[in-house]
Amino acid sequence: MQIINTNIAALRTQRHLNSVENEMSTVFRRLSSGLRINSAADDAAGLAISTRMESGIREATAAIRNANDGISLIQTADGGLESITENIQRIRELAVQAANGTNSDFEREALQIEVEYLLESINFTAKHTRFNGLNLLDDSAPPLQSHGIVSLQDDETKTAVMIGLTTGWLESSEQLIADFYGLTGDGQTLGIFLADTGDPESDGPGGTAAYVQSLVGSSGPAVSGSVELYIDMEDFRPANLPNGGTEPFYNDRIIAHEMTHAVMAVSTNWGELNTWFKEGAAEFIHGADERISIDLAAAGSSSALISQGFTTAPATWGGSSAEYSSATLAVRYLHDSIVAAGGEGIKDIMTVLSSDPNNITLDDAISQVSTDLGGLRGYVSGAGFTGAAFTDETTFLSDFDTNGADFLDEQIQLADPDTGSIQGSNVSPANPSIDQEDAVEDPIDYNSDPLEHWQEIWPTGFTVKASRNDNSFSGINIQLGATRSDRLEIRLYGANTTALGLDGLSVSKDPLDVILRADEALERVSFIRANFGATQNRLEARINYLLIEKENLTSARSRIMDTDYAAETARLSRLTVLQQAGFSVLAQANSRPQQVLQLLG
């Protein structure tokens, strides 16, 4: 019995020694690695927390490196600008010297030679100021970039069209429609597409230059998010900024026409409106006197042109130029009749249509406006608009069929420069004459979000950068964290002679002009350097923040992960004593059975 008890004690001691050895292995692992947590078994929650902290530490390390690269890039660009500044200063100095009356033409020509070398030096510096292959001061280098438009296609014409869209074509069109029709979009998306030759959306040169497409039922407005603007590049070549295209039809006017369709599609009962009213209103927003003049000459007489129109069968539309002209005249006729009755014209019709776009038809709108104004005015040859004439679309079209030719002959002035747009002097005598180039306001400052009441979806292959019209041609994103919001853009600016307005300087012909342009160029360079300096300061501040963040994360992770050497050493000492005691007990336990057997022997 004593032998059995001794064996049981030996087994218990052995298990205790195994436990001590396992614990000692853990201690040795921690002391040798310096880490308290070497596997998930040591502390699962602590390992998860420390892993996230390790990600933050590495993120901060990479971000600091990125920011330092950004500072190096800025310093490289600033070095180039310093050289350019010195060249401009020298050009200005030569211009002041050349302006002195004691100099002969020969001496001014000699000064001009140095000016030309200095201009070449400016272009050379701008072209060869690079960082890791990136052009920092040359806005002519690919990818093609201008006014915040970045083209991944290196297509100059498409880029020019995009510049037109973001510097006035869209914004001015939206403003025209809001001012004179009282209509705006409702915040929907507007997809914009540039169709190339061979694309199903392109019908080649001379066809449909642009069109708006949307999903719409038999009544009501277009389905939300379905409105798309297609531009046929075959008819937009060349872009010829600022107005676009060539006379008599300019690209900005085409965009105004199509934007009228887009806005009406989402704000009126688009499904029930007859095409004559849609197209006539779109032409009237910018004027169509040129088209009417051409179609009138082709028809031979006003009555022939009106008879070629749409009014006898308003539900059908063949798309001929004569139909567009007749539709424009009809809308103008309706507008003038409302004005004669004391209203605001087509704007009154549009206001009623947009008040309930799911239900109100053009019949309803004409009827309501007629009622509000005490009856609309029909046209009488030689007397203008007089007497109540129509109360719905059918009676209006009948009246226009009868009197439209006289209206065209007596009221429409086709020979003057005015386009006959709703804002022009022919329509509203208080307004100035609106010619072809002014039918849509000339481009304004670059706007990356030109439409206030739409969300633009830009064509594939283009990036529209948010920036002022400050001649920045690109932006380098410095990644300072793990998310899209953790970015800082370093704007790059053109500093060649074209970007600085120094092309064609001549101190031999006009030194005072050179002085003026040199001063403007110096202001421009100072602006660029100030932007670079401010961006560098922001990067340096971010580096300081990242260093503090990294230090704090490292310290916090250390408290979770690192071994407490004092505690582990004490623990090792305790385990060593326990191990030695266990070995001693186990030795004694193992020796007792041998002693008993010796006594029995």
**Which of these ranges, 193-197, 229-233, 462-466, 530-534, has the smallest mean pLDDT?**
462-466
With a cut of 50, say whether residue 95 has pLDDT above it: yes
pTM over 0.85: no
With a cut of 70, say whether residue 601 has pLDDT above it: no
More confident residue, 596 or 477: 477
Question: What confidence tens digit (pLDDT) does each residue in 175-192 have?
Answer: 999 999 999 998 999 999
Distance set, CA 123 to CA 83, 111, 156, 474, 495 (Å): 11, 19, 21, 18, 8
Q: Which of 232, 228, 215 shows the shortest CA–CA distance to 457?
A: 228
DSSP letters, 417-441, are S----TTSTTTSTTSPP--TTTSSP
Q: Where residue 208 falls among pLDDT bands split at 50, 70, 90?
A: confident
Q: Where residue 35 falls among pLDDT bands split at 50, 70, 90?
A: confident
CA–CA separation, 229 vs 237, rounded Å?
Answer: 17
Contact predicate 138/492, CB 8 Å = no
Question: What confidence tens digit (pLDDT) does each residue in 105-152 have?
Answer: 899 999 999 999 999 999 999 989 988 888 888 866 544 445 566 665
Contact predicate 312/327, CB 8 Å = no
More confident residue, 416 or 139: 416
Which residues pair with residue 488 across a beta bridge? 478
Residue 281 structure tokens: 């209103």
**Which of these ranges, 8-12, 191-195, 276-280, 531-535, has the smallest mean pLDDT?**
8-12
Residue 586 structure tokens: 């186990």
Three-class SS state of 194: strand
Q: State the pLDDT at residue 558.
A: 80
Pairing of strands 249-250, 245-246: antiparallel
Q: State the pLDDT at residue 536.
A: 94
Average pLDDT, integer, range 228-235: 91
Rounded to the nearest 10°, the torsion over CA 98, 100, 105, 108 is -10
Average pLDDT, integer, range 302-321: 75
Question: What confidence tens digit (pLDDT) does each residue in 324-381 have?
Answer: 999 999 999 999 999 999 999 999 999 999 999 999 999 999 999 999 999 998 899 9
Distance set, CA 322 to CA 57, 148, 206, 577 (Å): 71, 41, 16, 109
Q: Where residue 470 falls among pLDDT bands split at 50, 70, 90?
A: very low
- pLDDT, averaged across the chain: 84
Three-class SS state of 365: helix
More confident residue, 200 or 562: 200
With a cut of 90, say whether residue 45 has pLDDT above it: no
More confident residue, 1 or 389: 389
Q: Which of 433, 429, 424 shows the shortest CA–CA distance to 180?
A: 424
Average pLDDT, integer, range 405-413: 91
**Secondary structure element (H or E) that encloses residue 574, with its range:** helix 565-600
Question: What confidence tens digit (pLDDT) does each residue in 528-563 have?
Answer: 899 899 999 999 999 999 999 999 988 888 888 777
Q: State the pLDDT at residue 143.
A: 44
Q: Which of 157, 7, 10, 23 shows the shortest CA–CA distance to 577?
A: 23
CA–CA separation, 314 vs 160, rounded Å?
Answer: 39
**Which of these ranges, 21-35, 42-56, 361-375, has the smallest mean pLDDT?**
21-35
Between CA 179 and CA 188, with CA 182 as vertex, the angle to 5 degrees is 105
CA 495 to chain centroid = 24
Pairing of strands 377-380, 384-388: antiparallel
With a cut of 80, say whether residue 566 has pLDDT above it: no
With a cut of 80, say whether residue 594 has pLDDT above it: no
With a cut of 90, say whether residue 524 has pLDDT above it: no
Q: State the pLDDT at residue 468.
A: 41
Q: State the pLDDT at residue 598.
A: 59
